[in-house]
Chain A
Amino acid sequence: MVVHRWRSGLLLLCLLAGCNRDEPIAVYETTHLNRREERLIAAIFKQGESGIAIKMSGPNAVVQRHAQELRDFVESVAELQGVYPKTWIQEGATEFRMANFFIDDPDGPISCNIAQIPTKPGFLEMNIDRWASKLTLPPVQTPADLNAVAKRTELHGRDVHFVELVGYGEGKNPTKPSPSFPLKDTIPEGWQPKFNALKLSPQIVPSRMFSVTPETEVFISKLEGDGGGLTKNVVRWGGQIALSGQALLAAEKNVRTLKADLGAAQVVDLFNPLRKTGMNRLVGVLLPHQGSTWFLVLKGPADEVQEHLAEFETYVKTLKRG
């Protein structure tokens, strides 16, 4: 009887021992609530020791609509400067991106950004793979795969790879940035917003650049206090057109006052007659406002500066509080 009891007990133990959970292989269909068809177009090129990637991404149809704007922008970029459409809104640079642009569209906004990328061997494939993974696309494995998504062209004497990917992504819509330029202004016809990675650093934001003609530009920035004062800035501006010594002293003496809506501005007109072509004239404006000083500069070939001086001064005079 006792033996029977223990046998029964053992049998029970063995049965229970076989009861550990064994999960089956599961197959199911899942719904991606945020996934949509997206397009990414980008240009990758080398700039000195590093590489530059200019990328636009978002819903397929919207990116397709703005694709030409990106191509025009990329074509305009030389030495990290380029002009972009007035409809784009530039945001401040971040640690990883030299510039971000917000592009509004009736079907939802998209973004374009410029980033510096390392140029170790295979950097093109690495970046394409990184972007492909965000669009649920397989990585580039063969030269044929690479050729299917990247086309090489020559721009400004350098190799530029245009990349185009279409897949399913969950990219988030960019939010409209709050205006980084705190003043209200009326941009004259013909001035085109300009991107300059070297000058638009976060340290001197808020700042703006415009291309007035291919050789003439307007640069606007703000510094706290008097920003170093008149003399220091005259010397700094003089350096930009290779002007020094007596010429600068004379220019400082000839400073004139311009009555602007924001207050009285000091205008310095610098000209280097020894430079026959190229940038030889610079008109600098110091506009103190609410404890800070705005610096507005028009520079380029003397005749072009002269031609656009009136509209520049009108621009300065009509600047208003934002």
Chain B
Amino acid sequence: MISRMDQTAIQSGPPKETHFTATAPERSATTWSKAWQETWLYKVLRVLASLRLTVVLFALSFLLVYWGTLAQVDFGINTVMDRYFRSFVVKIPLKFIVSAPWADEEKWPLLNQIRLPYPGGWLLGSLLMTNLFSAHIIRFKRHWTQAGIWMIHTGIAIMMIGEFFTGMYASEGQMSILEGKSANFLQHHHATEFVFIETLSAEKDRVIVVPQSKLRTGSTIQSSELPCDVTVDLYAVNAKLMTLKNTERGWATAGMNRNQKLEVLPEGSGVDSSSKIDFPAAQIILSRDGKELGRYLFWSVLENPDWITIDGKKYQIALRFQRTVCDYVIHLDKFTHKKHPHSEKAFDFRSEIRLEDRKVEGGKERGDHREAAIYMNHPMRYNGETFYQSSTIPDGDTGRSIGTVLQVVRNPAWTFPYWSCTIAGLGMLFHFWLNLSRFIKRSA
């Protein structure tokens, strides 16, 4: 069987022009083929199509998955997904690379401090895709007998493209609406933002948002958009605030949390049964023209913002879960929360809503209106987003449900896995059928 490798679709080593496919000699005889093989594009593709490169990329991918799994000891699944798999370059701590019983990071702190750059998921994925496409261009036979292979590879490509789009464009948020009230924003519990809010009127606020990607410990954010400079003294993905004891001196010098201190907590795994979310906190120094305006302690849990006055303007300042303002408004007409008899277990959550699309297109509001009931296993789909009934808002005094929480999911690539599996599955069936029929013919 090994001696027949030259007759299979996948070849080891750089393809030799004389016999890289069964039809190559015929094609190389043509002038066009010769000219094509002399081009720089062909030469580049030949390098990219290398089976050695495939093997190396797969090996690198296996290691990335292994280290990504180890990283979940220290970080939650969302952080690991972003850092290891939805990035082009990842910095791997030496302790994972050594991965030996003696490599105790408490004894050898350098093992955690030294981080080596390594290709991230998107880089490996794009290289694998390039490798696959290049191989198809210059090496694979274009014959109906290879249709199964083509379909399998197409399925894999769709899966990888789908993951890329999911990573780039998928979002998941929650919309909380009180009965009889409306909502027009989503809150995302996997990301935070630091905001300056200027109240313009009863209805309008001007919001200046510093995204989480800029909130790194030690970073200073300066921008003409910001009313002052923001220096992140410490950013903790999960933390809690503790009241200072009488003898203790706090870090903060301003704001409502100046009598508190921050205690950093380990990041939640994000996959445990309790589904607890992390509550980020930050120690932030605000300054203007080199003059410190105050050291503030922020915690994403706190509902009430701090306040600061800069150039006579009053701003609310807060570290809060990331928000996305929607083009539509959802009004909750009625919320029903039925329980099983003699039990607190939910029997039915039902949100009767009205959706008004207020997106302005060509100077006109889109004006799409719809009424719907959203309940368990009966989501509403609108404009690429799916609205699921998630939970309820209890009244602080009576405990009665006074509102709904909808889970809103947008994933433009949600159908990709279905297409991928279908196409790859059909390809496999075709390929096995073809080989089986050949085998039967040979045996006959």
Contact = CB atoms under 8 A, between A and B. Distances in A.
A138 B397 contact: no
Contact of A32 (B204, B305, B307): B204
A168 interface: yes
Given A8-B44, A16-B88, A30 B205 contact: yes
A232 interface: no
A3 interface: no
Given A16-B123, A20-B88, A94-B397, A35 B203 contact: yes
B208 interface: yes
Given A25-B214, A30-B207, A36 B304 contact: no
B123 A31 contact: no
Contacts of A28: 206-207, 209, 325
B304 A23 contact: no
A172 B182 CA distance: 12
A35 B201 CA distance: 10
A274 interface: no
B399 to A, nearest CB: 10
B89 interface: yes
Contacts of B316: 136
Interface in A21-41: 21-37
B266 interface: no
B207 A168 contact: no
Contact of B184 (A16, A27, A33, A129): A33
Nearest to A113: B397
Given A13-B123, A94-B397, A136-B199, A25 B206 contact: no
Interface string A300-313: 00000000000000
A8 B209 CA distance: 39
Interface string A213-255: 0000000000000000000000000000000000000000000
Interface string B314-332: 1010000000010001000
Contacts of B397: 94-97
A139 interface: yes
Contact of A172 (B181, B202, B206): B181
Contacts of B336: none
Interface string B113-124: 000010100010
- A-side interface size class: 35 or more
B87 interface: yes
B226 interface: yes
Nearest to A37: B202
A19 interface: yes
Interface string B379-407: 00000000000000000111000100000
Question: Among A24, A37, A170, which residue has the most Cβ atoms of chain B within 10 A?
Answer: A24
Nearest to A15: B88
A155 B372 CA distance: 55
B89 A32 contact: no
Interface string B210-253: 11011000000101011000000000000000000000000000
A5 interface: yes
A173 interface: yes
A30 B325 contact: yes
Nearest to B302: A133
B87 A25 contact: no
A42 to B, nearest CB: 17
A19 B88 contact: yes
A17 interface: yes
Contacts of A168: 199, 202
B269 interface: no
B126 A16 contact: yes
A25 B223 contact: yes
B206 A27 contact: yes
A256 B206 CA distance: 73
A16 B129 CA distance: 14
A27 B329 contact: no
B94 interface: no
A93 to B, nearest CB: 10
Nearest to B204: A29
B160 to A, nearest CB: 15
A31 B202 contact: no
B200 interface: yes
Contacts of B376: none
A168 B316 CA distance: 13
Given A20-B89, A32-B202, A94-B398, A26 B211 contact: yes
Contacts of A26: 207-209, 211
A26 B89 CA distance: 26
B109 interface: no
Contacts of B133: none
Given A20-B88, A30-B325, A33-B329, A138 B307 contact: yes
Interface string A262-289: 0000000000000000000000000000
Contacts of A17: 88-89, 117, 123
6 contacts: A9-B47, A29-B200, A29-B204, A32-B203, A35-B203, A170-B181
Interface of B: 44, 47, 87-89, 117, 119, 123, 126, 178, 180-185, 199-200, 202-211, 213-214, 221, 223, 225-226, 256, 303-305, 307, 314, 316, 325, 329, 396-398, 402
List of 6 A-B pairs having minimum Cβ-Cβ separation, nearest first: A133-B304, A138-B307, A23-B211, A33-B182, A26-B209, A17-B89
